[in-house]
Amino acid sequence: MTQFLNVIVLTLFAASTLALAVYGIHLYVLVWMFRRRSKDARRNQQETIRRFRDTAKPEEWPAVTSQIPLYNEMDVAARIIRSIAALEYPHGKHEIQVLDDSDDESRDVVDALAAELRGEGLDITVLRRAERTGYKAGALAMGAEMARGEFIAIFDADFVPPEDFLLRAIPLLLESPDLACLQGRWAHLNQDESWLTRSQALGIDGHFAIEQGARAWNGMLMNFNGTAGVWRKAALHDPAVGGWSGDTLTEDLDLSYRAQLAGWRIDYCFDLACPAELPGDIGAFKSQQRRWATGSIQVAVKLLPRIWRSELTLGQRVEATLHLTHYSVAFWMLILAVVARPMLALRIEGGLELSRWIWGLWIIIFFSAVAPSITYSYARWSLGGGLSAIRLIPQMISLGCGMCINNALAVVRGLHLSGGEFVRTPKSGNKQKRRRASSYAPVQSNMWIAELALGVYSLVTYVYYMRGELWPVSIFLLLYGVGFLTVGWMSAPRRAAKQQDSSSVRDDVERPVAIGPSPAALAESART
């Protein structure tokens, strides 16, 4: 029986190590892919934009519909609507749709502001549904059916696009008739609010400054990120694509892959930055990550069989598989944290301790573990941030380790769940270093207990590894321990209650009807 358990532990350890190694190597490949094509791709895009803007007459610009999907966004509804109203575009060619599924006071804010903007001559419509069928996907589908624009821009409530967003996006879409969607880069409004937002910003920069460009500019399948992008309406209405669908929690990822499987392309513009608010509360961040992790695995279950039966190249299919299953890294990291302690006690025939030769596996783990650090550091450097990412790496790794339980459970959920409730991430209207609590409380659970317990377990295991003279590899267990304890402590009900109570001290002048700085000022401050 003991030998059987030893085999189980060793198998789990080896499988986790191999899986993490594969995803680590994948990051190295993406960095190389981005580096070899980014200079030419960015130069060509900028030349296309400049050429069209310099020569096109107002009547040559196509009609565009900007969609703003909302659900109970009292803190930011006015900000996003005013931001979209401020977008520069030829007169009479820009339609605004507010897809409002709200059932609270947000409706009053939306209606009052829409009426005000209509009085100023803007083409703005508020569309509401009796039921939230399909959640965000359902709202976008309804809006697309009624949209008058040839192109449809989508902006979530926490974004503040620069005023020339459409003027830079549309020329790239007009240049390529087979281009279904153009995705812009996410920037950050409140990056310096806390260590949590700084860590998130670094991770998001890795995705947008490396991964998206690497895929788009090397012929791989990439995804629309749900916001800060523009779709060609013809692609949405293409029967081979199938339009928006609510059978996964990441309707954007699902639609992106179906469009590309139908023969359309999706491109990415590194220099089309659109700043957004990062979740400043650990509960909101967990909710966001659960949705993304569950949804990406749902899309993998739904579309990977179709991808592997398609005529895509082997490289495209492998890349798509790694892309859609990337959140499974949390599952393998969690297993590694659990089996690290019993690995020290393993014995094989002849009584040889496995701890004498598991160095090879730990070297693989190290090689995989530093891949995100290299990727995110290069991403920040490519954005002009120099080597500023280096001091943030320990924080980001600890946060990633601490989120393992949350994301691993979401991955398992995605394997068997179809659809599910779209739980939106609470926003607060934060900008720069100013702290401000959201009017909406994030979803709470008892997961913090397991996180604290696993944090203690990881630190105890760390001590055992140090005593066994395995200190070079014990650093990972220390990061696990710190990460689990930090996330668990921040998620505890007492902490959450304090954070929520802080919102009650906000006076009336900070309600969402007080807009504050202009969208242009917010966008400019985020870029700088």
Q: What percent of the chain has pLDDT over 90?
A: 69
pLDDT at 5: 78
pLDDT at 440: 53
3-state secondary structure of 274: strand
Query: What does the pLDDT average to over 136-153?
Result: 97
The amino acid that residue 517 corresponds to is P
Dig out the tokens for 173 from the structure: 């879409």
The amino acid that residue 243 corresponds to is G
pLDDT exceeds 80 at position 355: no
* Residue-averaged pLDDT of the chain: 87
pLDDT exceeds 90 at position 6: no
252 among known catalytic residues: yes
- Could you tell me the pLDDT band of residue 517, with boundaries at 50, 70 and 90? very low
pLDDT exceeds 70 at position 433: no
Query: What does the pLDDT average to over 112-122?
Result: 96
The model carries a pTM of: 0.88
Q: Tell me which of 300-314, 367-381, 509-523 is least confident.
A: 509-523
Dig out the tokens for 52 from the structure: 């069209």
**Are 261 and 310 in contact, with CB atoms under 8 Å apart?**
yes
**Are 246 and 133 in contact, with CB atoms under 8 Å apart?**
yes
The strand order across the sheet containing 124-127 reads 124-127, 94-100, 64-70, 151-154, 229-232, 179-188, 265-276
Tell me which range, 254-268, 329-343, 459-473, is most confidently predicted by mean pLDDT: 254-268
DSSP codes joined into one string, 170-222: HHHHHH-TTEEEEEEEEEESSGGG-HHHHHHHHHHHHIIIIIHHHHHTTT---
How many angstroms separate the most distant Cα atoms in the chain? 86
pLDDT at 356: 53
pLDDT at 421: 65
Query: What does the pLDDT average to over 108-119?
Result: 96
DSSP codes joined into one string, 432-461: TTB----SSPPP--SHHHHHHHHHHHHHHH
pLDDT at 192: 92
pLDDT digits (tens, 9 = 90+) for 206-227: 999 999 999 999 999 999 999 9
Half-sphere exposure of residue 450: CA atoms within 13 angstroms, side-chain side: 13
Q: Tell me which of 40-54, 94-108, 365-379, 466-480 is least confident.
A: 466-480
Full 3-state SS string of 39-71: HHHHHHHHHHHHHHHHHCCHHHCCCEEEEEEEC
pLDDT exceeds 90 at position 291: yes
Among 360, 487, 465, smallest CA distance to 21 is for 360
DSSP bridge partners of 273 = 185
Dig out the tokens for 383 from the structure: 């954005």
Q: For the chain, how far is it from start to end, CA to CA, in angstroms?
A: 62
> Rounded to an integer, what distance in angstroms lies between the CA atom of residue 204 and that of residue 182?
18
pLDDT digits (tens, 9 = 90+) for 59-77: 999 999 999 999 999 999 9
- Choosing from 101, 158, 205, 254, the catalytic residue is 101
- Could you tell me the pLDDT band of residue 81, with boundaries at 50, 70 and 90? very high
**Are 367 and 24 in contact, with CB atoms under 8 Å apart?**
yes
Please, what is the Cα angle at 81 between 79 and 82, to 5 degrees?
65
- Choosing from 75, 100, 156, 252, the catalytic residue is 252
Q: Quick count: other Cβ atoms within 10 Å of Cβ 173?
A: 20
pLDDT digits (tens, 9 = 90+) for 294-352: 999 999 999 999 999 999 999 999 999 999 999 999 999 999 999 988 877 764 443 44
Would you state the torsion angle of the CA atoms of residues 511, 126, 190, 225, taken in this order, to the nearest 10 degrees? 160
pLDDT at 341: 84
pLDDT at 393: 87
pLDDT at 373: 85
Query: What does the pLDDT average to over 197-203?
Result: 94
